[in-house]
Each structure stands twice: as C-alpha cells, then as structure tokens.
Structure 1
Amino acid sequence: MDSRRAGESFVLLASLLFGTQKIEQFDTWMAYELYALLLAAAVYLGYTYGTVTDRGALTPKPAPIPPTALQQTKRRSDDKFGFIWMSVPKNYRDSTDDGILTALLLGPLIATALLLCSLDPYPGDGLPAGWAIESPIRLPARNTRAPPPAIALLRGRYNLLSLATFTSAILLLHVCSSRWLENRHVAAGEPTPSSTEAERRSVPRSEGVRGLYFIFFTLGSAASFFLVRIALGLVGIGIWQHLNLFDVIVVAIFYQFTLYVALRMAHRGLTLGELGLVCFGGTAIFMEFLNITIARIWPVTTAYLKTYRLPTPLVVFQTALVAGPFLTGFLIAPMLVLSRHAAQTPVRRQRRLLPSEALRARRRLAFAAAFVALVIIFGPLGLWTRWCLGNRDPWIWVVCWVISRHRRVALLAYWAALGSISVAGWTRQLARSRRMPGPVDAASSTNALFAASNEFLDRAPTLRLNERRKFFHALVVFMFLPGIAFDPAFTHLAFSAAFAAFVFAEYIRYFAIYPLGAAVHRFMNEFLDTKDSGTAILSHFYLLTGCAGALWLEGQVLPTWLLQYTGVLVLGIGDALASIVGKRHGRHVWSPTTTKTLEGSAAFAASVLACAWLLRLLGVVEPFSTVRYVSVIILASVLEALSDQNDNLTLPLYTWSALVIMRVS
C-alpha cells in the first residue's frame, strides 16, 4: 500500500473509530456493530495489500505495452481493486484507487454523526434552530404508543446506523465474493483478457447472463442475511437488532438493485467508493418513503414514524423531488431510448423518412415524453405528496409557504437574476472561445440582463477548464450563503427542486430530447474533466449534494448555525482555492501517485478557517472551538489531497460528520 492510500485509510478509520467510542457511551451493541465493521475493513485492507497475501505471481505476465497505455491499464485493471458481483473494470470510472473504505465507512460515519445529534437532550419538537417550517407530522392521538417526534427521530437514527453497517456488510460480501471467484479462475489458468477489453476472467461477456447471475446472488445473499438476523436475535446478540426482518429483506434487495442499476446507467461514471455512498443514500431515502407510506396506511398500528430526519413537509417534498424524477425516467424510458436512437441515426439510414419527416418524428417523441412525464408528476407523485400532507394540495401549499415571507420571494428573484447572468455570460464566453458554433449577438437579446452580462463578459478573457469549473464553486457561495443565512428551510426545499431539475436536464442532454438536447450537451461538455468520462455527467449533482448535505441531513437540533455552512465553505471556497493555488503555486506533492500539493492543502485549510471566523465576527454563526474546528479542517484537507474519489461528494459529508462528532459548536 502506498503512502497516499495509507493516509486516506488512516483518516477514515480513525474518524469512525472516534465516533464509535462516542456511541459506546450510549449503546454498547451499536458500538459493537461499528467495531465489527472497522475490523472487517482493516482485515480486508491487510489481505488485499499485505505482501504475504499478494497473489500477483498467479497472474500471467502481460505483453509489453507503451508507457502511456501502461498508466491507463494500471488505473483500470489493478488486481487490488474491488468489484461488485458480475461487474468489470470498464463499468467503473478510471481512478488510482477503488475507494473501498469510502464505500464501507463514510455512510456509517454520517449515520453516527446523526445519531449523536439526537442523543443530545434538547427541549421542544427537535426542529433545527431558526427553521421556519411546520411542526413534524404526528401519528393520530388514538395511537397511544406513538412517542414524541424527538424520541421517534432518535429511534429512526438508530435504525439508520444499523442500515449503514448492514449495507456496508452487503457491499463487502460482493467485493469478497467477486475476488474469490476471480482467484479461482486465475488459479485454473484461464487466459487473461486484453487490457483494452477491461474485462475479468470470472465474468461472462453476455449482459443477459451477468444479469441473471446477479439476480441469483442478490436473492441468495438477501435470504442469507435474513437468516443471520434471525439467528442473532435468537442467541441474544444485539447486532442489527434495530432492523426488523422486513427492513432486512427490503434493504438487502433494494440496495443491491441500486448497485446494479447505478453501475450500468452511469457507465464509467462512478468508482466503487462513490457507488457505495450514492446507493446508501438512495436506499435511505427509499426507506423513508416506504416508512412514511406505511404510517399513512396504518396510522394506528404503526409503532412510530420511522424517518431519519424530522417528518416535516420538507422531507415529504424532498422524497418526491429526488425519487420522483428517477421514477418518471423509468416509466418513460422507451420514449427516451427512441429519442436518442433517432438523434444518433443519420437521416439517410432512416427508411422512408424525409428530413422533415424525421424532424417531426423527433418532435412527436419529445411531446409524448413531456406529456407522460407531466401526467406522472401531477398524477401519482402529486397525489402521494397531497396524501402525506394531510390532503392539502402540494402546489398551493408551496405557493402559500413561499409568499408567506418576503425574504423568500426576494431570494427567488436573487437566484433567478444570478442564474440568468451566469448562463448568459457563459454562453457568450463559450461562443467567443469558438467552442460553440456561431457567435451570440448581445444586442439582439430580448433581456436587458442578458445583454448587460454579455457586454461585460466580452471584455473578459476566456478561461481555462479548471477556472471554468471553479467559477461554479464560487457561484454557489454567492447563491447559497444568503439562503442559508436568511431562510435555511426554504433553501432546503430549493436544493431539492434544483436536484430534480438537474435530473430532467440530464435526461434532455443524454437522450437528445428535441429541441434542447444538443444545446444542453454542448454547454455541459465545456466543463467536463477526467472524472466525467462516463455516460452520465455527475459533477454538478455532486456539487449540489455537497452544498446541500448539511441542510438535507437536518442533524443540528441544537441552536448551531456553523454546521449549516459546511458544504458551501468546503466546496465554494476551500476546494476552489486549493485547486487554483495548487496548480499555480504548488511545488511539494503529497505523494508520487497524486498531483495534489501541500500548498493547495494549506490554502484549503486557511481559507475555510478564515471564512468561518469572518462569519463569527459578523454574528452569523455562534462561537465555536477554534482548536477543534482547525483539527477537523486539517483532516479534511488531508483527505481532499489523498483521496481519488470525487471530493465534491465525499468531502463536505465527511467534514460535516467530523464536525458533529468533535462537537465543534
């Protein structure tokens, strides 16, 4: 194991170990779950990277290849990489590290931080300080067993932590089973696939056969975990006792389903670490949706409303806005696929179709997809949201809630103006750099705001890729800092709506929906780097999730504001300055296997600390422990430098969790 991987592993293992010791003060069996996970992760690392168990001699020596091809092959075919069952290297994003510890430990670390938040005594209904939102949904009064919302939330977060360790166990089973099967094929002397194929000996080439094997493995592992859970309960072992048998079977099947779907829909877009974290989040949201639905169907017999955040309307809307677009895409998939096929097929190959007829066919497909999507949104999704809101119309509820405060209307206008200026300005910049066909005439713009921004940016130099990407990091600071400061609850809902808009925009781009598909694709293509080499463009999703994570988690029930700014400070300021300073002034790299520099990490830590103290001096956040805050930010800067995972996703979540566990505020 090289120094970079060793440093990243130490940060993640030590952080979760410290959180586990905090949990042990309240629940011994829950701590044992985490200790078992830490031990399993350490054993896996020792087995994988230990020299005694190095099985490199079993691998036939490949033919000599050029140095440039050698680097790419090493990135995608490292025999120490872990794989999901029936997956191959070409399914994953190119990286120097599979991110196995991120997949195994970051989810439990987040759940640990959430549980520690709820274990702190706090009077009232548990709403975060300063959040202008309705009180949490309660079960009917005739359900005499139902506890208060704060107690129900505590039980729900115990359930979440068990869910996190359970999904990590499933992922580890996949990786170990996949490695065991591959080693058997290697020992049998089967030929090594060529480096350009990025295949594995143990995985069939047929996608249908792979899918069938994956289904068998999913059902078998789900049944095995079901029996293990029963056995643990019978012998009095408290591991996973916060998961009932229904939870075990549903989570085991759904989590593995999301692993399979995400790996194929975002082909070459995710590492193993990012895949595990994304699927854990998706499973948690699905379980919240399922538990809310069950509580609405059987309100009297339900023991408590099992959610991982307070069941306010914000959670209901987020479930609809995050899960709804994926459900919509699944239902309109045939029309989306036909639209992409029509866009990729030249007119001369479309039989019996003139160019005008082919264009009309694309228009009809776009109209049909939009119509069915609207039916789904206003039909099942809208009706479910209305049902959960107590038979209140969700659209009217949102309008009334927004106009109930003038600052919300002002924030909407501010975001619209800033977004319009940014899009118009970048359209002009890209046209000037001749990366998009045809110049844009500012004088012809019908919007004075667009024209003014175009005229201003005509005088500015064009930017390189890294500067273009970091511009959006700076943009999130100007957009979201006022929202978090003035109305965090409204910003929570706005983040969810933005996520839904991003999903539909990605549908339009990838499936070339007429008439916007090509324009969206050209615009997004100008901001891609090596981490966006897959079929789906995910960087903007990660940036949004990283900034919104501190609000979406709703962990800080104590009167603290500092933690709510974590994502914006870490990504909008720290990560952006670390990249710019490191590329321009960096001289000392952390490791021979990374380009990250000590100068960039120092800029990250110093800028985040300076901004946090500026917020403190302005009275925006409460007093906090500078020593503890600096300690966490230094750990975050080290993780940013050493990890090859997408730091827009992992870094804010890690930093927020570490700040909670360290009790900075």
Structure 2
Amino acid sequence: MDSQYDEGFASSSSMEDAQTKDIIRRRRAQSLHRKKPSLTSSRLPADLLQTFPVDALKMALIERILWLLSFLWTVCRMVSLPNSPLSTGVLLGWTTLILTGLSTCHAFSRTKKSKQHNTAASLDKSSTETSSDDSPNSPLSPAATVQLVNIGEGDQLLQSDRNNKIKGSKLNQVPLSVIPPTNRIFGASRMAFRSNADDGLLCGVLLLPIVACAQLTGVIYQRDTNNFRIALTQAKLELTFLMSLIFLILVSADGFLHPVKRMIRKRGLFVSSILISGIFTFLITRLTTLTPVLGYTPIIMTIISVTTFQWSLYLCVVALKRCFTLGEMCVISEGAAVMVHKVQEMVYATFYSDKVPDYMSMEENKPETILIHAVVMGMLVIGFLSYPLLRRSRILAQKPYWRSSTSIDTLVDIQRRKVMVAISFYCLTATIIVLVISPICAAMLHQNPFLWTLEFLFSSPPRLFLCIYWTIAIGITVIIWVLLLDFPANDDQQQQTFFASSKHSRAKHLTSALNKKRKLFHGLAVVMFVPGVLFANSFLQLAFGVALSSFIYLEFLRYFAVWPYGKNLHMFLTEFIDNRDLGPVILSHIYLLVGCAVPVWLGSSSIIASLSGILSLGFGDALASIVGKRFGRFQWPGTKKTVEGTLAFIVTVYLSALIITYSSALISLDGVSTIVASAGRREWIQYLLVVTMTGLLEAFSFQNDNIIIPLYMYALVVQCQILS
C-alpha cells in the first residue's frame, strides 16, 4: 500500500514537474520572440538612475549656471577692457552663435530623451500586458510560482521577470530631466563615452574660449606694447571660438545622422564632416568679420588646425572608447589643435617667413617653447608612424592566450618575435628623433637642441639644485611607498577582512588604500613643482614638456605590451585606476601632470595664476578627498562628494596661496615682494571668491577635475588680475 502510494506520488510529482518545465519552456520562447529593449530604451535609464538620482538634476543645474555665468562674465570683461582688440560686435556675434548652438543641442537632447522615455514606457506596458504573473489567466499563476521555488531555471526566470517589472515601474516614476543628456558625435553609441558622468557639453564648449579670453586679457592688462603678441593671442581666441562652433554643429547634426548605417557613420560621416568644416572655416574666416586675425592667416593653417581637432575627436570616439566624456573630448581635441596651430606658426616663421603676416614672422619664440612643442608633438608623431609595429606587438602579446594549448617551441617563437618587434620600435624611435625632430629644432634654434639643453641646464646653479632636489623628493616618495603604503596586511587585518560580514567594508578598505596611493602623488606634485615655479619657471616649463612626452611614450609601451617594460608598467599603473579609467588607456597620471603644467605653460604675470594647477590639485583636491572620505557627513545632493570636502578644498587652497606668497616675500624672491606690497584686502577677497567658485565646480561637476579645475581656476585668476 505504501509502495503504491509512493509510486502514485512519484508519478504525480513527475507529471507536475513535466507541466512546470513545459510552462517554463513556453515562457522562455515568448521571451525570446519578444522584442528586446535597446540600450536607449527602458534598460538604460533604469540602470543610470543609480548614478543620476533625482537630486542630481539640481547639481547639474548649478553647474550649468556656473559655466554660463563664467562665460558671460568673461565676455563682459573683454568688452569693458580699454583698447580691446576685439570689437563689441565681434564678441557679441560669437556669444550669440555659441549660445544659439547650445540651445539647439539642448532642444535636440530633450527631444531624444522624450522619445526614449515614450519608447521605454510602451515596451514596459506591452511586456506587462502580455506576461503578467499576477493575472489569473497567466500561464504562471501564484500557485505555479510556489512550485517553481526549488527549480533552478524557473527561479532564475521568475527573478529576471520580477527585476524587469521593477525596472519598468521605476522608469515610469523617473522625471524626464533625470535621464542623462543624449548628446553625441559622429553617430557614436553611448558606449563610446565614459559612462559615469554626464556629457559635459557646456564644459567642452566654453572652457577653452574662457581660457583664451583670460590670456588675451592678461596680455592687455600688462600694457604690452608688442602688438604682435596681442595678435598671436587673439588668433588662439578666434580659433577656439571657431572650433567650439564647429563642435556644436557636429553635435546638433548627430541627431539627424544617427539612423544612418554604422559603416557610413564611422567612415563617410567623418570624411564629409571634414569637408564641410573646411568649407565652413573658409566662409567664416574670409567672408565674415568674426575673425580679424585669422582672416589674414593662410587658410591652409586654419584648415589643418580644424582638421586636427576633428581627427582628435574621431580618435577619442573610435579608438579611445570610454576614456572621455563628450566635453572632455572637446577640451582635449581643442588643446591638440591649438598646439598644432602653434607648431605651424613656428614652422612658417622659420621656413616661409615671406608668406605669413608680420605678427607671425616678427614674433621671437623662446627656445623653451620650441623644445616643448618639439618633444610633445614629436612623441605623437612617433606613435603615429610606428603604429604598425605597436599593433603587431600587442597581437603577439595576446597570442598565447588565444590557444587552448601552446607548445614550448611556439612560446619561444612568439617571444623571439616580440623581441624583434620591440627592437624595431626602439630603433624607429631613435631614427625619428635624430633624423626628423632634431634637424627641425636645430633650424629653429640655430644650434643643436641637445647641446642647447645641456648648456641651459648647467649654466644656472638653481636649475642643477632643482634637479637634485627632485631626485631626493622622488627617492623619499619611493621609500614612503614601500614602507607605508605597499606592505601586505598583517594576520589580524587579513582575518578581519576575510570574516567581515559586510561587503561594503571591504570595498571601503580598498577605496581608502587606493585613495592614499593616488593622493601621495598629488603631494609629490606640490613638493616638486612649487619651488620650480618660484625659482626656475622656464626650466620647469621645459621639464613639464619632457615629462609629458615620457608619459606618452610609457603609455605606448604599456598598452601595446612592448618588450621588456610593457608588462611591468601595466602591473604598476593598474593599481591606480578608478572609475574614470575604464577605457584602453590609463590617463590619471597624465591628467595630473597636464593639470599642473598647463597654467605654467600658459604663463602669466601672476605667480598665483601659474600655481593654479598645483594649488587646486596638489593641495585642494587631495585634502578634499581625504577629508571628505574620513570626516564627511553631509553629501551634496546627487553626488558622492561631501560639503566637508568642498570646504577643505576652499580653505586649503586659500591658505596655501597665502603661505607660499608671504614666505616667498620673506626671502625677497624676485617679483613676489612687489606682489605682496600691492595686494590688499580687496585682492585677497577676490581670490577667495575665485577659490570658492572653483571648489563648487569641483563638487558639482562629473568631469575629470584633474584637467578641468586647473584651467578654470587659472582663467578666473587671470581675469580678475589677482596678485598681478
């Protein structure tokens, strides 16, 4: 009897299992035939809701207000200057065009978000109507759901359906403006941009024009009688205005061209945009009065600069995916185009002086300026010409991992080819330096660049002492790294970490350790670079250029796994990556160097302006991060940054500027005593206002602050002519 009962129970159980599996099979078939939501539909906004909560809208609004007010104040400052080289009509014309372009991009962005929201809502509604688990007529009723608890596949399927329902309900509650902006370029997908930030359109369009306006203001404020220098600075301002306008046109056109096939977007759209931009550049510079200086410049120079700008944008979108936001792409690309334009000016002035305007041929470039552009642009040329070898090196580095089993002979052959490719790359690098870069520099300097550099170094004792000081500072940093930050945890710490019940504590421990390592280099920047700005500014400019070219070359070795240093560099640098280093290249250390170097390269009569990058990154950003993580209690709405961290940024930068200025005056440093004598309460209050605005931008912006904050602070300091 019991056996018959057991058999009957087993048979009924098997029938129920069969029915349950059949239900799961039908449900899976329905889900396969159902249209899957795209990345721009319901799945994307629900995921991004975690990064961009409702309160983030308020922070984004404050950031936009900061950018717009800074830009408008800069333009008003230019208009009010006596003897301004740019007329009021020209400035108002550029301002109107840029603000109109921003409004157009914003309108298109709102339209895209509205369509995405409606599409996501319709998909979620149709999904709910066709597959509601709570419906009594549904294939899976609540009773059947209970039976599926112990079935692995069914449990996963139901959990997935529940998650989709929750996402759909959350999406319907999300305000339209919470969804991140959808501005893109070249028809690229959202995956081409850094995902943990907004697009940064205002930052990309307005930052470089603000900096260029500040430079022109600084030249005029110094009452420089050299009209050639004013014209050169004005040409950079007109070029940044032109590139920002072209960038807005490309972003606006993306909404119409995005439905085009992918291959046409990636190739044909880029080529056509270069042709259209060339025609647009010709029309603006030759048929309008918006470019008084570029109108007399050879048109080929302006077109080459604009083409470089677009090539850089395309490289960031296609090859360097997820490394930048849209705004960061614009800032980096405009900076590269301005550098190319400066190189063209120096080449034309040296070899074709009779074919360029007087302001270009009569300007005497400093030897440091020539060498800085030579080493940086030369390193980029080396990467471009040696790309086939670098790509081959990366392929060989990946080859052993493509095979399930690799013999020893194959590994030996791969290693031999790695060595041959690496030697070829090093030889090509030396050849380009000796046969291309060095002769061009020698023609501009009228002497051998290597001999000039050695003479420049050894002719001044402060420069030698500075090199020794840098060596000692780096050595102490390495010792601190090895003894304090890079040691393994002891047994108690390991046991506590292993048995920790909360995953959050483990993540927080790792974040704190990474933060200490990263901020150590911020402190090193302060220790190394502040004496250079005060005692040997020109030598520090050249050292920054050599360091940047070295970092670029090391990144070539790391990413392309060039023997024998590529692997070790990769293992070392990956210790410092964070959520902003999600792309193929690691940019944190390069950004830190560039952020400290650009204010020094741009130059100013104000020492505090030249120190903007070092103060904001070395002092402000480091202390803000440490104080915010350790003592922060009140977070800014929509961000992980704290009010305490922002206050630490403001106080630290302001006090460090005071200490550096008055300490330098005590030792009677050239120029600083005059600065202290002329700076009163009004000047220091203005500087406090500038630091406060910079601290607020650092708190509200999702862009990479290592490159944005120094430029912004430099522009404000120069515009106010604080401590000049």
The TM-score range, normalised by the shorter chain, is: 0.7 to 0.9
2:231–2:293 contact (8 Å) kept in structure 1: no
In structure 2, the residue matched to 1:631 is: 689
Partners of 2:367 and 2:445 within 8 A in 1 = yes
Amino acid at match of 1:106: L
298, 306, 320: which one aligns with 2:374: 320
Identity %: 28
Contact kept? 1:118, 1:154, Cα under 8 Å: yes
Structure 1 residue runs without a partner (length 5+): 125-149, 183-201, 435-460
> Which of 598, 612, 619 is the aligned partner of 2:643?
598
Give the superposition deviation at 1:485. Answer: 1.4
For the pair 1:284 / 2:338, whether they are aligned, the reply is yes
CA contact (8 A) 2:308 2:336 kept: no
Match of residue 408 from structure 1:
463
Instruction: Verify the 8 A CA contact 2:187 2:257 in the aligned structure 1.
Output: no
Question: Which of 518, 533, 537 in structure 2 is aligned with 1:469?
Answer: 518
Query: How many residue pairs were aligned?
Result: 585
Q: Where do 1:44-59 residues align within 5 Å?
A: 44=104, 47=107, 54-59=114-119
Structure 2: which 5+ residue stretches go unaligned? 1-55, 125-162, 490-509, 666-671
Letter in 1 for 2:463: R
Could you state the TM-score of these two structures normalised by the residue count of structure 1?
0.82
Select 2:613's aligned residue among 567, 570, 590.
567
Residues 335-387 of structure 1: CA deviation (Å, up to 9, x unaligned): 11111111111175779953333222111111110010111011101111111
Distance, in Å, in 1 between the alignment partners of 2:271 and 2:549 is 30
Q: Is the Cα contact below 8 Å between 1:337 and 1:511 reproduced in 2?
A: yes
Q: In structure 1, what is the equivalent of residue 227 of structure 2? A: 151
The 1:463/1:230 distance shift into structure 2, 3 A limit, reads closer
Deviation at 1:317, TM superposition (A): 0.7
Query: Matched residues in 2 for 1:350 and 1:14: separation?
Result: 62
Work out which of the residue numbers 207, 213, 225 in structure 2 matches 1:112.
Answer: 213
Cα RMSD for the two superposed structures? 3.1
1:489 maps to 538
State the SS of the aligned residue for 1:86.
Answer: coil
Matched with 1:378 is 434
Q: 1:469–1:66: structure 2 CA closer, same or farther, 3 Å change rule?
A: farther
Letter in 1 for 2:365: P
| Stretch moving more, 339-348 or 371-380 | 339-348
How does 1:22-37 map onto structure 2 within 5 Å?
Answer: 22-25=77-80, 26=84, 27=86, 28-37=88-97
Amino acid at match of 2:183: G
User: What is the identity, as a one-letter code, of the residue corresponding to 1:324?
Assistant: G
**2:662 — aligned with what?**
617
- The reply to whether residue 85 of structure 1 matches residue 186 of structure 2 is yes
Any conservation in 2 of the 1:309–1:315 contact (CA below 8 Å)?
Answer: no
Shift in Å, 1:31: 1.7
Give the aligned partner of residue 419 of structure 1: 474
Shift of 1:544: 0.6
Pick one of 630, 633, 640 that aligns with 1:584. 630
Q: CA deviation at 1:152?
A: 1.2
Task: Pick closer, same or farther for the CA change 1:221–1:302 going to 2, 3 Å.
Answer: closer
Residue of structure 2 equivalent to 1:172: 248
Tell me which residue corresponds to 1:138: none
Q: Is the CA contact 2:523–2:618 (under 8 Å) kept in the aligned structure 1? A: yes
Higher relative CO (CA 8 A, sep ≥ 6), structure 1 or 2? Answer: 1
CA shift in 2, pair 1:67/1:647, >3 Å: farther
SS at match of 2:195: coil
Deviations 1:44-76 (A, max 9, x none): 4652576999444553445564989999x99xx
Q: Distance in 1 between matches of 2:511 and 2:317?
A: 36
User: Which string of whole-angstrom CA distances, capped at 9 and with x for unpartnered residues, describes residues 16-53 of structure 1?
Assistant: 11110121132324422442245225524652576999
Partners in 2 of 1:241 and 1:333 — Cα distance?
Answer: 36
Instruction: Identify the match of residue 563 of structure 2 among 504, 514, 520.
Output: 514
Aligned partner of 1:530 among 552, 556, 579: 579
What is the alpha-carbon distance in structure 1 between the residues aligned to residue 362 and residue 613 of structure 2?
20
- 2:299 is aligned, of 239, 245, 256, to 245
Contact 1:339/1:362 (8 A) holds in 2: yes
Is the 8 Å Cα contact of residues 156 and 307 (structure 1) preserved in structure 2?
Answer: no
- Greater shift, 36-45 or 267-276, is seen at 36-45
Tell me by how many angstroms 1:533 deviates.
0.7
Provide the C-alpha distance between the structure 2 equivalents of 1:89 and 1:483, rounded to a whole number of angstroms.
42
Alignment check: 8 A CA contact 2:197 2:325 kept: no
Task: Select between 412-421 and 575-584 the one with higher mean Cα deviation.
Answer: 412-421
Equivalent position of 2:413 in the other structure: 357
Question: 2 CA distance for matches of 1:88 and 1:119?
Answer: 44
Choose 160-169 or 405-414, whichever is displaced more: 405-414
Match of 2:17 in 1: none
Deviation at 1:301, TM superposition (A): 4.3
Give the Cα–Cα distance (whole angstroms) in 1 for the partners of residues 182 and 360 of structure 2. Answer: 36
After superposition, the Cα gap between the structure-2 partners of 1:482 and 1:305, relative to the gap in structure 1 and judged at 3 Å, is same
